[in-house]
Structure 1
Amino acid sequence: MTTSARPRTFLGVTTLPDADAILAALDPEQREVASAPLGAMRVVAGAGTGKTRAITHRIAYGVRSGALQPQRVLALTFTARAAGEMRTRLRELGVAGVQARTFHAAALRQLHYFWPKTVGGAAPEIMPAKAAAVAEACGRLQLRFDRTGMRDLAGEIEWAKVSLVTPDAYAAAAARARRTPPGLDVTAMARVLAVYEDVKSERGVIDFEDVLLMLRGMLDARPDIATTVREQYRHFVVDEYQDVNAVQQALLDTWLGGRDDLCVVGDPAQTIYSFTGASARHLRDFASKHPGARTVELVRNYRSTPQIITLANGLARAPGGARRWGGVELIAQQQPGPAPRLSTYADDAAEAAGVADLVFNAMAAGMPASQVAILFRTNGQSEAFESALSHKGIPYLVRGGERFFQRSEVKEATVLLRGAVRSDDGETPLPELVRSVLTGAGWSRTVPVGGAARSRWESLDALAVLADQVVGVSPAARMAEFVHEIDERAAAQHAPAVEGVTLASLHAAKGLEWDVVILAGVSDGLLPITMAETGAEIDEERRLLYVGVTRARRDLHLTWAQARVAGSRSSRRPSRFLDGLLAGTGTSATAGVRGRPAGKPKEKKIATCRTCGDALTAAVERTTGRCGNCPATYDETTFAALRAWRAAVAKAASVPAYVVFTDATLTAIAEATPSDDAGLVRIAGVGQRKLTLYGPSVLAVLGGGDPAEVAAETAAANAK
């Protein structure tokens, strides 16, 4: 795929690629997608096979050949970043006027447009978050939940709404989906759903799911408006179709109105959002719903080395050699590289230090920090890696943290750039002019060494590099066009690349790629995570690892720790998903077990939340290792057993429950799950006296003992 289909500039005149040039830039399978812009098509696109390239070239070919009118095409995806990338690709192909939006953005635009004509006045305000309405609903029902519980309830409400489940039908639907409401039975959860809707109605507001539901209802009730929308949008493209949920599919069907001008693109092997209501069945069943639809498989992986692809194919291959989930067998197109490596460490702290060493060595060999990522299963794992990277002075970014365009230095720079539009002399090269303006915001040609100054500089330098990219696409671009590009990216949250190692959960990493990827915590209990019990849940965990593996272009490291804390029993094992794959793929396992690096003084540092990184100021926060805004990471069953044991012990001794252990200490025990006295006594709130009184029984409960029986034994022993 070396032929370029981008606009070319010669002697100041820009020429756009013709239809044949657009097809010439594609491989055979991609060309099959692009050359048929009309009718129903399903594209099963494996990781790294160029799906965005294929569908944007399909639209561009359709426009250039006269088969499509750009303003009548609606391209749908799931993130503002992906929609922004699609618009950028189409602009590079010289195609303007195509609407590329998320489902919610497209629906909201139509809802605002048609609401005054159907209902009158402005559309209802959208709640920025569900928390307040959920809290009021619980208050009316005399239900008490902490912030974590409220967040879980909001997630369950979202699942019900995107699955088109009403309060009356919730109990049956939850049973079919094997869902357990957080801290409630299904009847109580159905009541929360009903009262939540009452609260919204009384406040005159809607939530994000209502945008889709209300627009669909409006189109069903008003055939004239539905006809208007269908006249406007004649051709639809849906990216990441494996992530479509029931309400999105229902709205898409309404938009189509029985027509077949629909191209869907997805990969069932990358279905990792089932817990939100997403289902790959829409992708699998597409041909039966659209008879005569063409199916094209994209199998040529242009991202990763053959060694990485071999491991990925192994993860996606069922016993007997069949492909799992209806995905594709990838064929690597890159040159060979190093074999994926599996490293073993003694404990989590040693693993974090070892991972930081891997990053340091990669950067010392010339790898840019922005091309290195550390991926993990849960957000709670991030803190240890942040601390280890900081110790070595390595810049990093936490994906899902503060958004790029909300950073103070970026806001300040944008104001300065906007002001520079009027003073643009039209002669100074745009990149030079932008850098001159950014100097006023703190940018310099000398890179600061570490710390906050380096982080600020990296943000500003990303804007400078963006100016280079804008000129690369549009050589005649001036400051006004550059500011417009920034505004579009800010609206779509399509941030430019910032120099720094990326820390991200596997869910947040989907759709991204790096030269060097370190998959950390690849052990049973994390991958698959302990809460995954059913076959479907275990399958989703395997797909998460598949997504992580296929993020790597050149170097792939997998790491795991034998124990959570130093000195505790080595109870972990490598992820079962790797069984039988290491020898067959050329994957190498690092010999020996790595412990904590010797000879380094232990630094005193401010306690920070292991989930979000904020400083911990309250004693209860320091005990649990989490701030009050972040969710707990313990197993609910374990915590419930400990609470039942504590209540029984306190009752037998005629003392308040907190005298046995405070809630914070009990939470810390549930999260650490120590296996011996040494591990238990390291938890804040467990001194030598309480270790003597309660240590054996706490360990017995953690080991699966019946709380009531263990409590009775404790009371008898302490009464002697």
Structure 2
Amino acid sequence: MTDLLAGLDDGQRGAVLAPSGPVCVLAGAGTGKTRTITHRIARLISTGAHPVSEVLAVTFTTRAAGEMRLRLRALGVPGVQARTFHSAALKQLRYFWPRSVGGSLWPVLENKMRLVAMASRRVGAGTDTATLRDLAGEIEWAKATLAAPDTYQQAVAATLRDTPVAVETAAKVFAVYESIKSESEQLDFDDLLLHACAILETDESVAREFRARYRCFVVDEYQDVTPLQQRMLDAWLGGRDQLTVVGDANQTIYSFAGASPKYLLGFDRKYPEATVVRLERDYRSTPQVVTLANRIIAGATGSAARLRLKLTAVLPDGPEATFNEFPDEPAEAAAVAGQIAARIDGGSPASSMAVLFRINAQSEAYEQALTAAKVPYVVRGGQRFFARAEVRQAMVTLRGAAQQAGAANGQADDPDAAAVDPELVTTVRRLLAPIGLSDDPPPAGALRDRWDSLLGVVSIAEELADAEATAGLPQLVGELEQRAEAQHAPSIDGVTLASLHAAKGLEWDSVFLVGLTDGTLPIQHADTPEQVEEERRLFYVGVTRARTRLAMSWALSRTEGGRRSRRRSRFLTGLAPDLPVGSRTRAAGRCRICGGPLATPAAIKIGRCENCPSTADPELVEALRDWRRQRSSDDSVPAYVVFSDATLFAIAERRPTDADALLAIPGIGRSKLDHYGTDVLELVTRTR
């Protein structure tokens, strides 16, 4: 037991030592909740309160369940069942179904889309991929909230849910889907919980056997349970109270999928004798990040405020968070890519950084900017922009239209010579309208995701039209194909691009929170106070992903040169300094030649606009290249690992005379200064 308590703080120790009855652990971000609950489980087993076979721990992802099993094994209790809700229900159904229902367990659908499409056709609804995804999502939400086909519409009205498809249509499709599934004797993912609940609730012998086996339950991320999952938990417990729940109401971000914090918030009312422990010592982030997170969540309202946690940082001080405003999204993306490239050149691993955004469609600008900066990246929780079905379809549509235009002009074999389209952007919008680009955005859902992606294609057309007034469809198709090819380069160890939802449960040394404008965060369709508060919690989750460095930014226009009509997120009020409209970031800086803003990674690194005259000494550039070639050979590393070309040019232009001046050049950190600083400064001195 001494070993199980070693290294725990007072809150963690209190949770581990609490009796085996009802326990609620309110665990803030970075407070060591997984360590706490695994040590609690191990302690309950080691003291004889429960044998290994009686404990069932459930969480929400297979990754989290796997991590829990690994930690329990390291603590000497490898036999504990740690599963997701659905995995646990499936195991129970396989065992009890033949006895309670009869015959073999019905097969579980790997993908419900085929049956949703059949149901949609029968009621005359749409069968395009986006509509089917939205219909499937509505069915999943209905089941998660315990709504049946005949009560779905009332449930939508009661929750003020903004449905992506017509409520009447979704209800009809839901009813026919359930009928088809039942007739074919198949189960979907949500049926696992529904049927497991039904068996435990109606079959006394099964319930007795199950409850004799499992007597102690631990539930992680309890703020995100759905009514269906709570019903499953209640069926497992059967009125008993040997339950430990762990959660943080500040991190409830899945209400759109049916999750509700009310079970966490009401735990001490349901179990008046419960032990409630608060974990508020943050071991993940610096005081600067923690203070900012506390200020964000302090503005929250609603029922969650009663159990609000105030984090206390344990780590030493780090840099202050930065707040940066840009004239447009391309400039914002270029500046972020430039900062990332500089940090990589300074010795930071690409995998230690993440760019987080509200919606997946925002990733395209950062994929493009990072590619231009030759920075590897990985997209988490979504497809790369040019891999999305709607973007591929848009490219096929535009390619076909370009070929037809060329053929009509007798120039099919020479696309660059095809007739120029005087209104490229208007033409692109017209061509993409039949595949989902309406004038007004659809409600939230797959159709909105599709619309956002198609709007991204339009923005590329706008960029091309601004840069090349005579560009037509053939030139646009060529531009799209070049970008698609460049951004499909494989990358393994790279900067993470992820939505805020996909980033939950993860952490990085450096986090860039981008696109922080009203209408994006909070999202435009967040109409009610409850929905706005969930957006605030999503912002809080994003901030608390950062260990050391946090950069927040927003752009006043979507396209380069566009009207600057956006305003920064209301959540930044009182956090970010009041910046003059169109101001640039300190990190991006201004050109030392003309004083203008620096908008590309290369310009940021060399400290001047790319079209301003270079002040680099050709002799010094050549000397630096010779030195780099020799040093890379001596160290058996590629030349760019020593210094990139952009860093060499920056050295040659700025001609640093001491270590501080060398450190001020983006791409040179303390590690590179220690390795190469003496050589570089000697070269600069010799060529004066």
Question: Is 1:194 aligned to residue 188 of structure 2?
Answer: no
What are the within-5 Å matches in structure 2 for residues 587-666 of structure 1? 590=585, 594=597, 596-597=599-600
What are the within-5 Å matches in structure 2 for residues 319-358 of structure 1? 324=305, 326-358=307-339
TM-aligned CA deviation for residue 212 of structure 1: 0.2
Distance 1:139 1:600, change over 3 A: farther
Q: Hey, what does 1:268 align to over in structure 2?
A: 249
Aligned residue for 1:358, secondary structure, equals helix
In 1, distance between residues paired with 2:487 and 2:163?
Answer: 43
Q: Hey, what does 1:391 align to over in structure 2?
A: 372
Aligned with 1:308 (options 283, 289, 295): 289
Q: Hey, what does 1:222 align to over in structure 2?
A: 203
For residue 297 of structure 1, what is the amino acid of its counterpart? Answer: R
Aligned residue for 2:552, secondary structure, equals strand
Question: Is 1:26 aligned to residue 8 of structure 2?
Answer: yes
Question: Is 1:553 aligned to residue 555 of structure 2?
Answer: no
Distance 1:21 1:183, change over 3 A: closer
Question: Is 1:508 aligned to residue 502 of structure 2?
Answer: yes
In 1, distance between residues paired with 2:302 and 2:524?
Answer: 27
Distance 1:322 1:149, change over 3 A: closer
Distance 1:238 1:347, change over 3 A: same
Q: Hey, what does 1:282 align to over in structure 2?
A: 263
Q: Hey, what does 2:186 align to over in structure 1?
A: 205
For residue 547 of structure 1, what is the amino acid of its counterpart? Answer: V
TM-aligned CA deviation for residue 262 of structure 1: 0.2
In 2, distance between residues paired with 1:131 and 1:195?
Answer: 13
Q: Hey, what does 2:474 align to over in structure 1?
A: none
Distance 1:267 1:542, change over 3 A: same
TM-aligned CA deviation for residue 49 of structure 1: 0.6
Distance 1:453 1:356, change over 3 A: closer
Aligned with 2:222 (options 223, 235, 241): 241
For residue 500 of structure 1, what is the amino acid of its counterpart? Answer: G
TM-aligned CA deviation for residue 204 of structure 1: 1.8
Could you state the TM-score of these two structures normalised by the residue count of structure 2? Answer: 0.68
For residue 351 of structure 2, what is the amino acid of its counterpart? Answer: S
Q: Hey, what does 2:531 align to over in structure 1?
A: 537
- Asked if 2 retains the 8 angstrom alpha-carbon contact of 1:164 and 1:246, the reply is yes
In 1, distance between residues paired with 2:21 and 2:279?
Answer: 19
Distance 1:548 1:155, change over 3 A: same
Deviations 1:98-136 (A, max 9, x none): 000000000001111111222333211111222211111
- Asked if 1 retains the 8 angstrom alpha-carbon contact of 2:301 and 2:533, the reply is no
Distance 1:571 1:333, change over 3 A: same
Q: Which moved further from structure 2: 137-146 or 531-540?
A: 137-146
For residue 221 of structure 1, what is the amino acid of its counterpart? Answer: T
What are the within-5 Å matches in structure 2 for residues 80-119 of structure 1? 80-119=62-101
Aligned residue for 2:315, secondary structure, equals coil
Q: Between the two proteins, what is the percent identity of the paired residues?
A: 52
Distance 1:323 1:274, change over 3 A: closer
- Asked if 1 retains the 8 angstrom alpha-carbon contact of 2:126 and 2:132, the reply is no
In 1, distance between residues paired with 2:290 and 2:319?
Answer: 12
In 1, distance between residues paired with 2:162 and 2:117?
Answer: 20
Question: Is 1:566 aligned to residue 560 of structure 2?
Answer: yes
Q: Hey, what does 2:237 align to over in structure 1?
A: 256
Q: Which moved further from structure 2: 173-182 or 332-341?
A: 173-182
Aligned with 2:45 (options 43, 63, 80): 63
TM-aligned CA deviation for residue 167 of structure 1: 1.6
Q: Hey, what does 2:148 align to over in structure 1?
A: 166
Q: Hey, what does 2:666 align to over in structure 1?
A: none
Q: Hey, what does 2:58 align to over in structure 1?
A: 76
- Asked if 1 retains the 8 angstrom alpha-carbon contact of 2:324 and 2:554, the reply is yes
Aligned with 1:36 (options 2, 18, 23): 18
- Asked if 2 retains the 8 angstrom alpha-carbon contact of 1:323 and 1:329, the reply is no
In 1, distance between residues paired with 2:569 and 2:290?
Answer: 18
Question: Is 1:524 aligned to residue 518 of structure 2?
Answer: yes
For residue 153 of structure 1, what is the amino acid of its counterpart? Answer: L
Q: Hey, what does 2:575 align to over in structure 1?
A: 581
Aligned residue for 2:165, secondary structure, equals coil
Q: Hey, what does 2:435 align to over in structure 1?
A: none
Distance 1:453 1:151, change over 3 A: closer
Q: Hey, what does 1:12 align to over in structure 2?
A: none
In 1, distance between residues paired with 2:141 and 2:85?
Answer: 16
Q: Hey, what does 1:150 align to over in structure 2?
A: 132
Q: Hey, what does 1:632 align to over in structure 2?
A: none
In 2, distance between residues paired with 1:590 and 1:384?
Answer: 18
TM-aligned CA deviation for residue 168 of structure 1: 1.7
In 2, distance between residues paired with 1:35 and 1:276?
Answer: 35
Q: Hey, what does 1:4 align to over in structure 2?
A: none
TM-aligned CA deviation for residue 183 of structure 1: 3.0
TM-aligned CA deviation for residue 383 of structure 1: 1.6
Q: Hey, what does 2:683 align to over in structure 1?
A: none
For residue 77 of structure 1, what is the amino acid of its counterpart? Answer: T
For residue 389 of structure 1, what is the amino acid of its counterpart? Answer: L
Aligned residue for 1:316, secondary structure, equals helix
In 1, distance between residues paired with 2:222 and 2:277?
Answer: 14
Aligned residue for 1:508, secondary structure, equals coil
- Asked if 2 retains the 8 angstrom alpha-carbon contact of 1:345 and 1:595, the reply is no
Could you state the TM-score of these two structures normalised by the residue count of structure 1? Answer: 0.65
TM-aligned CA deviation for residue 596 of structure 1: 3.3
TM-aligned CA deviation for residue 191 of structure 1: 2.0
In 1, distance between residues paired with 2:374 and 2:69?
Answer: 37
- Asked if 1 retains the 8 angstrom alpha-carbon contact of 2:250 and 2:304, the reply is no
Distance 1:194 1:330, change over 3 A: same
- Asked if 2 retains the 8 angstrom alpha-carbon contact of 1:46 and 1:327, the reply is no
For residue 269 of structure 1, what is the amino acid of its counterpart? Answer: N
For residue 254 of structure 1, what is the amino acid of its counterpart? Answer: A
What are the within-5 Å matches in structure 2 for residues 120-159 of structure 1? 120-159=102-141
**Shift >4 Å, 4+ stretches:** 319-323, 450-454, 591-595, 598-601
For residue 519 of structure 1, what is the amino acid of its counterpart? Answer: L
TM-aligned CA deviation for residue 402 of structure 1: 7.9
- Asked if 2 retains the 8 angstrom alpha-carbon contact of 1:243 and 1:279, the reply is yes
For residue 310 of structure 2, what is the amino acid of its counterpart? Answer: E
Q: Which moved further from structure 2: 315-324 or 70-79?
A: 315-324
Q: Hey, what does 1:380 align to over in structure 2?
A: 361
- Asked if 1 retains the 8 angstrom alpha-carbon contact of 2:125 and 2:169, the reply is no
Q: Which moved further from structure 2: 85-94 or 138-147?
A: 138-147
TM-aligned CA deviation for residue 227 of structure 1: 1.2
For residue 88 of structure 1, what is the amino acid of its counterpart? Answer: L
Aligned residue for 2:501, secondary structure, equals helix
CA RMSD, Structure 1 to Structure 2 (Å): 2.4
Q: Which moved further from structure 2: 274-283 or 63-72?
A: 63-72
Distance 1:385 1:333, change over 3 A: same
- Asked if 1 retains the 8 angstrom alpha-carbon contact of 2:300 and 2:533, the reply is no
For residue 338 of structure 2, what is the amino acid of its counterpart? Answer: D
Deviations 1:356-409 (A, max 9, x none): 111112212221111111110001111211121122221211112589xxxxxx
In 2, distance between residues paired with 1:183 and 1:162?
Answer: 18
TM-aligned CA deviation for residue 23 of structure 1: 0.9
Number of residues of Structure 1 aligned to a counterpart in Structure 2: 491
Distance 1:50 1:130, change over 3 A: same
Structure 2 segments unaligned to the other structure (5+ residues): 385-485, 591-596, 604-608, 612-688
